[in-house]
C-alpha cells in the first residue's frame, strides 16, 4: 500500500509511524484508518521491526476526526466518503442490523489492530491529541508526551460517545472515576494532568520527545528477545480481562515451558554469565510457540 496520510520509516530496527496530515492537524479519516491497519500488519510481518513509535507531523499529534463533512461527520449513513463498501445496515423492514460491518467504528478497528500487535508500541505525543487522537493511543504500551501536548475526550461535547474501544481501555489505565470525569466533561487537559493520572508515563521538552522515545525503544531492541517481547505483550494485555489468576497461570506455564527450552533462553543465561550482550535468534514470524494464540478471536456481531 502507498501511504498518503502516514509515514512509515524503519531505522535500526525501530519503526516510526508518523500521522502525516499536518495542514489538517493530522485529523483522522477513513484512508488513515486503512493505512494504520496496513502499517501494523506490515510491522508484524517484518522481523527487522523490533519496536514501533507513533507520533504526529507538525504541531499536533491528531486533532480527532476530520470534521470537514460538517453536521454529517458522525452520521455514517449520510457520509459520501465512507471508506467501506459493505453497503447499508438497514434490513428490509427498516430496522438496523447492528452486526453489519458498516456499523463498525473506524477508530475501534485501529485500536483492535494495535491491541493485536506483536511488537512494543510507544506513543510520542507531540501536540494536541483529541478524540480519536487520544483513544487510538490507549492500546499502545507506553505514552510519552511533550510539554506542548494536550488531551481531550471531547465526545460528549460533540453529541456522541467515546469510541475506539476506549470504554474498555481507559478505565483500566486511569481508573473509572478519572475516566468518567474526562469523558463526561470533554475538557482539554494538560500533559501534566495526564502524567498525574497515569495516562502518560513521562513528560519532556518538545525537542527531547523523539530522542526519549527512541532511547526507550533502543533499550528494548538491544536487550530483549523478540519472541519473548511478543508473548509478554499479549500475555499482559489479554490478562486484563481474565476472570481468574488461573487463566494467567495456564498461559504463563505454557510460555515459560516453551521459552525455557528455546535457544533464546540458553543465550539469555549464557550471555549474562559471560557478561556480554545477548544475540537472540528467535523470530516472531516463525518461532512463536505452538500454543500461540491461546485465545479465540472475537467477531464483530
Residue 24 grid cell? 489538517
Residue 244 CB burial class (10 angstroms; 0-12, 13-18, ≥19): exposed
Residue-level pLDDT at 75 = 58
Nearest to 141 by CA among 164, 163, 168, 169: 169
pLDDT tens sequence across 58-82: 999 999 988 766 655 555 565 555 5
Rounded to whole angstroms, the Cα distance separating 97 from 34 reads 23
Residue-level pLDDT at 70 = 62
Contact 103, 97 (CB under 8 A): yes
pLDDT tens sequence across 131-189: 999 999 999 999 999 999 999 999 999 999 999 999 999 999 999 999 999 999 999 99
49 Cβ neighbours under 8 A, 6+ residues apart: 10, 13, 14, 15, 43, 119
pLDDT tens sequence across 14-32: 999 999 999 999 999 999 9
pLDDT tens sequence across 182-207: 999 999 999 999 999 999 999 999 99
Rounded to whole angstroms, the Cα distance separating 132 from 199 reads 15
pLDDT tens sequence across 208-230: 999 999 999 999 999 999 999 99
Residue 91 grid cell? 434490513
Tell me the domains of the chain and their CATH numbers: 6-220 (3.90.226.10), 224-301 (1.10.12.10)
14: region left, alpha or beta (phi > 0 left; psi from -120 to 50 alpha): beta
pLDDT tens sequence across 253-300: 999 999 999 999 999 999 999 999 999 999 999 999 999 999 999 999
Where is 253: in which H helix or E strand?
helix 245-260
Amino acid at each position: 500500500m502507498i501511504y498518503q496520510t502516514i509515514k512509515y520509516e524503519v531505522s535500526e530496527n525501530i519503526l516510526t509511524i508518523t500521522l502525516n496530515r499536518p495542514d489538517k492537524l493530522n485529523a483522522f479519516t477513513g484512508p488513515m484508518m486503512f493505512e494504520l491497519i496496513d502499517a501494523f500488519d506490515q510491522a508484524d510481518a517484518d522481523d527487522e521491526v523490533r519496536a514501533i513509535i507513533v507520533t504526529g507531523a507538525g504541531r499536533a499529534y491528531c486533532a480527532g476526526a476530520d470534521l470537514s463533512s460538517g453536521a454529517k461527520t458522525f452520521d455514517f449513513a449520510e457520509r459520501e466518503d465512507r471508506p467501506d463498501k459493505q453497503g447499508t445496515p438497514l434490513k428490509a423492514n427498516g430496522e438496523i442490523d447492528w452486526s453489519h460491518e458498516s456499523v463498525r467504528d473506524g477508530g475501534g478497528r485501529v485500536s483492535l489492530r494495535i491491541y493485536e500487535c506483536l511488537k512494543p508500541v510507544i506513543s510520542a505525543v507531540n501536540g494536541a491529541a483529541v478524540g480519536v487522537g487520544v483513544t487510538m493511543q490507549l492500546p499502545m504500551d507506553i505514552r510519552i508526551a511533550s510539554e506542548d501536548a494536550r488531551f481531550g475526550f471531547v465526545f460528549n461535547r460533540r453529541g456522541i460517545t467515546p469510541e475506539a474501544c476506549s470504554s474498555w481501555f481507559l478505565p483500566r489505565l486511569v481508573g473509572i472515576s478519572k475516566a468518567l470525569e474526562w469523558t463526561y466533561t470533554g475538557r482539554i487537559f494538560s500533559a501534566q494532568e495526564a502524567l498525574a493520572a497515569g495516562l502518560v508515563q513521562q513528560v519532556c521538552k518538545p525537542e527531547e520527545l523523539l530522542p526519549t522515545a527512541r532511547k526507550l525503544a533502543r533499550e528494548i531492541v538491544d536487550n530483549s528477545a523478540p519472541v519473548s517481547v511478543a508473548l509478554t505483550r499479549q500475555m499482559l494485555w489479554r490478562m486484563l480481562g481474565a476472570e481468574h489468576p488461573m487463566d494467567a497461570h495456564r498461559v504463563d506455564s505454557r510460555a515459560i515451558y516453551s521459552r525455557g527450552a528455546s535457544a533464546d533462553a540458553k543465550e539469555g543465561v549464557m550471555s549474562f554469565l559471560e557478561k556480554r550482550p545477548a544475540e537472540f535468534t528467535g523470530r516472531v514470524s516463525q518461532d512463536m510457540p505452538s500454543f500461540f494464540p491461546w485465545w479465540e478471536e472475537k467477531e464483530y456481531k
